[in-house]
Amino acid sequence: MKCVKVSVIVVAAGTGSRFGYERNKLFYPLCGEPVLTHTLRNIFAARSVHEVVIVHSRIDTKEIRRIVDDLHPVQPVRYTLGGAEREDSVYNGLLAVSPDMDVVMVHDGARPFATPDWYDQGAVMMETARAAIYGIPLKDTVKVRGDDGRLHTLNRSRLVAAQTPQIFHRDLLMEAHKQARLKGLKATDDASLVEAMGVPVVILEGSDKNRKVTTRDDIPILSLYLKGREVQRIGTGYDVHRLVEGRPLILGGVEVPFDRGLDGHSDADVLIHAVMDALLGAAGLRDIGTYFPDNDENFKDISSLVLLAKVRHLLQEKCCRIVNLDVTLLAQQPKIKPFVPQMIENIAEALRISKSAVSVKATTTEKLGFVGREEGMAAQAAAMILSYQSYL
């Protein structure tokens, strides 16, 4: 199977009674963001994922949709309600999967640290296998209490603790669930249902850090993992455009009244271009000309806010989160102060960040240089991001 189309079912309908939270435990803050935000960010960053299906409780609909909207994924997201038991929720998720999907991955919403690479590796595995799970060897000795009350020790070397995502050919998992429902089988994971059909399940190497949030005690441990992989990165951007007649002046996505505009292949928004370069630099990526060349007709007269949103997608693929931006326009005139609030709003909206994380300023060059002679405008920007790469 080549170029498989992958749908990820995120199970997020549990009550989390052991967690002791008045709401769904997936909304509990982990380093300032809901647990589910971390889970979904990794899924959305996986190149192999074509679709995401979120199974949730009716009461959580609004909050889950808000979390998804804040992440602004490139993949389509489907929503469906959960059932009485976990297997019912997964079955509902299967029914919501698009018919053209080849592979289904089932993942616990309470496991925030499955990396994008795990989904990509699972998709590749489906070229040669029909079912696979991530798992880790047990480190503790496991004992079983017999009917007579006596303890029996299991062979630890043969035991594996199953994790998610669990990966299956779609038709196989659907058939496994249908048979389980007919037979009244109950299982705590989907691989068990496939095993009951006699289908072999491949084990991929998991990680101790792919821990499931079950109780409050898990949060401090997961927070340490997160902070341990959190790297602050800074980037700078600089851009210049000359002023010409016959073009509108676009700054920060706002058309500013002026007798001339900036010349360029796109809308020549010098302010946004500086921001884009700062973000790309902070993420260790190339400059804007690499991704949006000025000889590509697709970008002719395009709004730079559209390009800025594309930069956000590039950062998401590298698991980077924007902390703040600071951009300064260098222009002799016109005065942009009345337009700054709208510029900030435009930038924040394109990047899906808070307006409080964006600063837009302007200054003159006291009539010195090409800016002072009103031959053109320049902008410089600084960006701070958090990078969450290679943590498992």
What dotted CATH number matches 231-387?
Answer: 3.30.1330.50
Average pLDDT over residues 310-322: 85
Average pLDDT over residues 50-70: 95
Banded pLDDT at 228 (limits 50, 70, 90): low
> Which residues have a Cβ under 8 Å from the Cβ of 8 and sit 6 or more positions away?
43, 46, 49, 51, 52, 53, 104, 105, 106, 107, 119, 165
Rg (CA), the chain: 25
Of 121-125, 144-148, 374-378, minimum mean pLDDT range: 144-148
Interatomic CA distance for residues 226 and 338, integer angstroms: 41
pLDDT score, position 163: 96
Say how many Å lie between the first and final Cα of the chain, rounded: 28
**Extents of the domains making up the chain:** 6-229, 231-387
Q: Is the pLDDT of residue 1 over 60?
A: no
> Which residues have a Cβ under 8 Å from the Cβ of 148 and sit 6 or more positions away?
none
Nearest by Cα to 167 from 213, 103, 220, 259? 103
DSSP H helices in 283-376:
288-291, 304-317, 340-351, 369-372
What dotted CATH number matches 6-229?
Answer: 3.90.550.10
Compute the mean pLDDT over every residue in the chain, rounded to the nearest whole number. 92
* Backbone region of residue 273 per phi and psi (left: phi > 0; alpha: psi in -120 to 50; beta: other values): alpha
CA atoms within 13 A of residue 23's CA, in its CB half-sphere: 13
Interatomic CA distance for residues 77 and 22, integer angstroms: 26
Nearest by Cα to 305 from 362, 383, 252? 252
Residue 70: is it exposed, middle or buried by C-beta count within 10 angstroms (0-12/13-18/19+)?
middle
Residue 65: is it exposed, middle or buried by C-beta count within 10 angstroms (0-12/13-18/19+)?
middle
Q: Provide the token pair at 39.
A: 């889970």
pLDDT score, position 2: 61
pLDDT score, position 392: 42
ω into 165 cis (within 30 of 0): yes
Interatomic CA distance for residues 227 and 119, integer angstroms: 23
Average pLDDT over residues 248-264: 96
pLDDT in tens, 3-48: 799 999 999 997 666 776 778 889 988 877 889 999 999 999 999 9
DSSP summary character for residue 305:
H
Average pLDDT over residues 316-322: 80
Interatomic CA distance for residues 363 and 105, integer angstroms: 52
Interatomic CA distance for residues 282 and 382, integer angstroms: 9
pLDDT score, position 371: 96
Interatomic CA distance for residues 261 and 249, integer angstroms: 4
Residue 320: is it exposed, middle or buried by C-beta count within 10 angstroms (0-12/13-18/19+)?
buried
Average pLDDT over residues 348-375: 95
